[in-house]
């Protein structure tokens, strides 16, 4: 039996499913996280054969040393499925001599500037970019890159603390919104549709690939409260207009020497069809996108990922049956959810095509939409036809409304 240590097994919500997937694949699973074992989600607790609570899971050295002192077995693999802990996992991996990417390799996925340098050195189209400390360096870098620019934390995750700036005044305003970020990547703003290229690999060979489409692109969806952002995982990933992104993605994986496990890449398709690299992470997509991927083919990628990385097994015994969209809902108003409107009409109109939903109940306090894409709930819809999927997703966006007040 393989012994696997997973760094982070409680949050985000996908992590208990990956922990469960490891156990169901036949591994003996040990977990490390920050909360007491009794506070872990029941799914994670049932899957674990041992657990270590640490003070700060993001402290690479302290966590590695704590694991060294505690380790009840020799770990064959050390895994992380969360952006904030991939470097901690690499540090522990090196300590135990476990198979997988080194700290240096993982850093190229975590540091956006080093990532883009490596990719551009291999001749892959990337946005013009400069690294800059917060403050005057950002303004100098923006002038060199040329407005409009995209301001991103060097070690950020997703679209958090990411801003489009059309002028020095807008750059100054953006920096004031993120005073806790010490270092940024200033990059050329690429005008185009934004897609993902997500993969599972075994020893450098892609065994699973899929693509999703952001509607609208995250910079818009995450900055405008009334929008219900969508992630649409596509049934037909071989459509001609996506081929540039698929080729780009495979070239990026080679350039960064990715080995085994999940990757999540974002790329842009310009109006002239050019594919431009955005960024990539050595972990799965968040915000329930693995669920949309499962709904596309009626499979369990949490378990299949585990079989791939731990045992090197993969079988393509499934079909892409649907396109699947997740729609994130934001309540109108502040305070507590008081009323949900339009749900009965949505269910009556296309209930058989709703794969799942999770809306805050009446009486719950609404979430801070700026801090979490999950917002006040979400709905999954799917259909064999992409156009039908999009039309249903748009109806959920307009016809389903949550209202909050004090």
Q: Give the residue among 295, 359, 370, 349 at the shortest CA–CA distance from 328.
A: 359
pLDDT band at residue 74 under the 50/70/90 scheme: very high
* Cβ(86)–Cβ(155) below 8 Å: no
404 beta partners? 337
Q: What is the mean pLDDT of residues 396-400?
A: 97
Classify 8 as helix, strand or coil.
Answer: coil
Q: For residue 84, report the phi and psi dihedrals to the nearest 5 degrees.
A: -70, -15
Helix (H) or strand (E) holding 392: helix 386-399
Classify 47 as helix, strand or coil.
Answer: helix
266 beta partners? 196, 279
Compute CA 73 distance to the chain's CA centroid, rounded to the nearest angstrom: 31
Compute CA 84 distance to the chain's CA centroid, rounded to the nearest angstrom: 11
Say yes or no to pLDDT of 158 above 80: no
In which residue ranges of the chain is CATH 3.30.1490.20 found? Answer: 128-188
Q: Which percentage of the chain shows pLDDT scores above 70?
A: 99
Listed in sequence order, the DSSP H helices in 256-373 are: 289-297, 301-311, 343-350
Say yes or no to pLDDT of 227 above 70: yes
In which residue ranges of the chain is CATH 3.90.1170 found? Answer: 322-406
Q: What is the mean pLDDT of residues 167-176?
A: 91
The architecture of the domain spanning 192-321 is: 2-Layer Sandwich (3.30)
Quick: pLDDT tens for 357-395.
999 999 999 999 988 888 999 999 999 999 999 999 999
Quick: pLDDT tens for 259-275.
999 999 999 999 999 99
Q: Which percentage of the chain shows pLDDT scores above 90?
A: 86
**CA distances to 152, 176, 269, 373, 386 from 275, in Å:** 20, 32, 5, 26, 21
So what's the pLDDT on residue 25? Answer: 97
So what's the pLDDT on residue 367? Answer: 94
So what's the pLDDT on residue 156? Answer: 64
In which residue ranges of the chain is CATH 3.40.50.20 found? Answer: 3-100
Q: What is the mean pLDDT of residues 234-251?
A: 97
Please state, as a whole number, how many other Cβ atoms lie within 10 Å of the Cβ of residue 402: 24
* Cβ(206)–Cβ(250) below 8 Å: yes
So what's the pLDDT on residue 36? Answer: 96
Q: What is the mean pLDDT of residues 173-196?
A: 91
Say yes or no to pLDDT of 160 above 90: no
pLDDT band at residue 311 under the 50/70/90 scheme: very high
Q: What is the mean pLDDT of residues 239-252?
A: 97
Q: What is the mean pLDDT of residues 162-189?
A: 90
Quick: pLDDT tens for 332-352.
999 999 999 999 999 999 999
The architecture of the domain spanning 322-406 is: Alpha-Beta Complex (3.90)
So what's the pLDDT on residue 157? Answer: 62
So what's the pLDDT on residue 161? Answer: 80
Q: What is the mean pLDDT of residues 95-115?
A: 91
Q: What is the mean pLDDT of residues 189-213?
A: 97
CATH fold label, 128-188: Dna Ligase; domain 1 (3.30.1490)
pLDDT band at residue 179 under the 50/70/90 scheme: confident
CATH fold label, 3-100: Rossmann fold (3.40.50)
So what's the pLDDT on residue 134? Answer: 79
- Cα(260)–Cα(148) distance, integer angstroms: 37
Q: Give the residue among 112, 101, 84, 83 at the shortest CA–CA distance from 92.
A: 101
pLDDT band at residue 189 under the 50/70/90 scheme: very high
């Amino acid at each position: 039996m393989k012994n696997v240590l997973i760094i982070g097994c409680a949050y985000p919500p996908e992590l208990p499913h990956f922990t469960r997937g490891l156990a169901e694949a036949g591994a003996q699973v040990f977990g490390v996280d920050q909360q007491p074992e009794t506070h872990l989600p029941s799914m994670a607790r049932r899957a674990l054969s041992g657990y270590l609570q640490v003070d700060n899971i993001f402290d690479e050295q302290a966590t590695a040393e704590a694991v060294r002192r505690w380790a009840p077995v020799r770990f064959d693999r050390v895994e992380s499925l969360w952006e904030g802990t991939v470097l901690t996992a690499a540090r522990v991996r090196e300590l135990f001599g476990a198979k997988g990417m080194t700290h240096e390799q993982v850093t190229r996925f975590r540091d956006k500037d080093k990532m883009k340098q490596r990719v551009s050195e291999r001749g892959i189209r990337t946005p013009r970019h400069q690294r800059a400390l917060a403050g005057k360096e950002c303004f100098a870098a923006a002038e060199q890159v040329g407005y409009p620019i995209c301001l991103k934390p060097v070690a950020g995750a997703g679209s958090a603390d990411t801003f489009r700036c059309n002028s020095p005044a807008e750059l100054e305003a953006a920096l004031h919104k993120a005073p806790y970020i010490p270092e940024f990547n200033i990059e050329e703003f690429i005008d185009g549709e934004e897609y993902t290229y997500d993969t599972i690999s075994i020893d450098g060979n892609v065994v699973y690939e899929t693509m999703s489409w952001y509607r609208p692109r995250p910079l818009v969806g995450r900055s405008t409260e009334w929008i219900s952002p969508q992630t649409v995982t596509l049934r037909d990933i071989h459509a001609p207009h996506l081929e540039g992104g698929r080729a780009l993605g495979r070239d990026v994986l080679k350039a960064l020497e990715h080995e085994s496990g999940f990757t999540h890449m974002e790329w842009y398709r310009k109006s002239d069809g050019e594919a431009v690299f955005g960024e990539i992470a050595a972990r799965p997509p968040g915000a329930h996108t693995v669920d949309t991927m499962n709904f596309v083919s009626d499979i369990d990628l949490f378990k299949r990922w585990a079989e791939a990385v731990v045992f090197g097994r993969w079988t393509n015994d499934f079909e892409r049956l649907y396109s699947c969209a997740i729609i994130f809902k934001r309540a109108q108003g502040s305070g507590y959810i008081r009323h949900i409107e339009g749900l009965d009409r949505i269910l009556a109109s296309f209930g058989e095509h709703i794969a799942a939903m999770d809306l805050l109940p009446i009486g719950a306090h609404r979430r801070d939409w700026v801090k979490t894409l999950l917002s006040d709930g979400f709905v999954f819809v799917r259909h064999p036809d992409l156009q039908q999927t999009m039309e249903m997703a748009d109806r959920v966006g307009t016809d389903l409304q949550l209202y909050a007040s004090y």
